[in-house]
Amino acid sequence: MSKLKIFNDPIYGFIMIPKGLIMELIDHPWFQRLRRIKQLGLSHFVYPGAVHTRFHHALGAFHLMTRSLEILKLKGLIISKEEFEAAQIAALLHDIGHGPFSHVLEHSLVPVDHEIMTLEIMKELNQQFDQKLSLAIAIFTGNYDKSYLCQLVSSQLDVDRMDYLNRDSFYSGVAEGTIGYDRMLTMMDVVDNQLVFEEKVALSVENYLAARRLMYWQVYMHKTSLAAEHMLEVLLKCCKQLPASKISDYGLNYFLHLPEGFQPEQDHDQLLSFYQNIDDSDIEVFLKTCVNFEDPMIVYLAKNLLSRKFFKIKIQSQAFNESELQAYRDACCRLFPISNKQSEWIISQNKLEFCAYEFGKTELKIRTKTNAIKNLSEIINLENYIRSENKYFIAIPREVLDYSK
């Protein structure tokens, strides 16, 4: 019998999965759930091809981790069989805690960061698989003495970022997001327990930073996606005011009626049980149900989301004046049968922040031709990537804009 399972991936070609623990994890309901969670949330409203899932991305991160480890072993690093498998598992499960539409509802529906949920799920799987994931958890959390293994999972240039840039670029059709991942991995090594990259690959690393910056502003923070996300968040806030009997989906009911200030340890088993059974399809079906609710604002938001009639976005580099926000809120109250509180939900100021290269964190290390180890900032000009880029936006119903004119 074959000892490998092969997935045909549009980015890398054939991804080979060894049968055994890793394949058992992929077959597990927790991992299969990722098939039903879109990688880019609501971005398909802008880029119709962006309907790939967290399942795709997890397999891609696994593949890049495998490739990285093979390269490092060829360069003489001693990586045990147990460490090799644990690092693969850490990459495979690094996003298993994402909720419906990935980041979109991370705080409006599920009041727990996906990183926390990922760790809780990995601990749960560790119990189910007789503590075989302990080393993978140590690598995932950065608590393993071989720091370079942890850096491959999470750092300023890791297998997660390499995969999602190339994958999201491919499915969105934004070609500028493509990076030379194979060249960077091939030119990677370890010195003093830290990942280093050869000086000849410095320009490829700069291209990676430029691609990351472009993808964030052009895809991940596209104004139409922001409008759709905002409308969905407001709709769910309105639904939280409804009695539980109005919502038939048990998973949605649970999360919509969690008390304010909820902490995972308060209801750990129930939290995981309902979380395992909630995904994008629950929200999509719920939207169609909402058009029959009695609350006119819920109906209005649901119909507009289903027919792609989004709020208009105003974006600027400075914070909005409070008087301007209040004027829009007053207009909302005059045009819609809503409360002042609901108008504040609709007209709320949001801040967008992005920095392609976080200067305060551990810098990427470059090995020069003379074998000196230097920070990336000493090799290339990072002026365009280390400054924090901030923007402010508000989403405004079209009726309110027309009324304001």
Tens of pLDDT, residue by residue over 90-114, are: 999 999 999 999 888 887 888 888 9
Band (pLDDT 50/70/90 cuts) for residue 70 is: very high
Residue 166 CA to chain centroid, in angstroms?
14
Architecture of domain 223-352+393-404: Up-down Bundle (1.20)
Question: What are the residues whose beta carbons fall under 8 Å from the beta carbon of 376, sequence distance 6 or more?
Answer: 202, 205, 357, 363, 364, 365, 366, 382
Sequence ranges of the domains in the chain: 4-221, 223-352+393-404
The vertex-366 CA angle with 363 and 371, nearest 5°, equals 140
Furthest C-alpha separation in the chain = 72
Question: Are residues 197 and 364 in contact, defined by beta-carbon separation less than 8 angstroms?
Answer: yes
Residue type for position 378? E
Mean pLDDT of 295-304: 94
Weakest mean pLDDT among 252-256, 264-268, 335-339: 264-268
Q: Is the pLDDT of residue 265 over 80?
A: no
**Cα 367 to Cα 374: distance, rounded to the nearest angstrom:** 6
Q: Residue 194 in 3-state DSSP?
A: strand
pLDDT of residue 337: 87
Query: What count of other Cβ atoms lies within 10 Å of the Cβ of residue 405?
Result: 5
Residue type for position 273? S
Q: Is the pLDDT of residue 37 over 90?
A: yes
Using the structure block, give the residue that is written with the tokens 């690092």.
87
Q: Residue 206 in 3-state DSSP?
A: helix
Topology of 4-221 in CATH?
Answer: Hypothetical protein af1432 (1.10.3210)
Band (pLDDT 50/70/90 cuts) for residue 404 is: low
Q: Angle, nearest 10°, between helix axes 223-239 and 296-306?
A: 150
pLDDT of residue 245: 73
Weakest mean pLDDT among 154-158, 215-219, 251-255, 333-337: 251-255
**Cα 321 to Cα 227: distance, rounded to the nearest angstrom:** 20
pLDDT of residue 2: 62
End-to-end Cα, the chain, rounded Å: 71
pLDDT of residue 252: 85
What is the DSSP pairing of strand 365-367 with strand 194-198?
parallel
Strand partners, 366: 197, 374
- In terms of Cβ atoms closer than 10 Å to its own Cβ (0-12, 13-18, 19+), residue 105 is buried
Question: What are the residues whose beta carbons fall under 8 Å from the beta carbon of 284, sequence distance 6 or more?
Answer: none
Band (pLDDT 50/70/90 cuts) for residue 176 is: very high
pLDDT of residue 405: 61
Q: Is the pLDDT of residue 310 over 90?
A: yes
Higher pLDDT, 32 or 294: 32
Residue ranges with strand state E in 270-364 = 312-316, 350-354
Q: Is the pLDDT of residue 1 over 60?
A: no
Q: Is the pLDDT of residue 261 over 80?
A: no
Band (pLDDT 50/70/90 cuts) for residue 403 is: confident
Q: What is the DSSP string of 223-270?
A: HHHHHHHHHHHHHHHHHTTS-GGG---HHHHHHHTPPTT--GGGGHHH
Band (pLDDT 50/70/90 cuts) for residue 263 is: confident
Q: With 0.75 as the threshold, say if the pTM is over it.
A: yes
Q: Is the pLDDT of residue 398 over 80?
A: yes
What is the DSSP pairing of strand 4-9 with strand 13-18?
antiparallel
pLDDT of residue 8: 96
User: pLDDT by residue (tens digit) across 106-165?
Assistant: 878 888 889 999 999 999 999 999 999 999 999 999 999 999 999 999 999 999 999 999
pLDDT of residue 131: 97
Question: Are residues 14 and 6 in contact, defined by beta-carbon separation less than 8 angstroms?
Answer: yes
Higher pLDDT, 131 or 265: 131
Q: For residue 110, which of 102, 336, 81 has the smallest C-alpha distance?
A: 102
pLDDT > 90: percent of the chain:
82
pLDDT of residue 66: 98
**pLDDT mean across residues, the chain:** 93
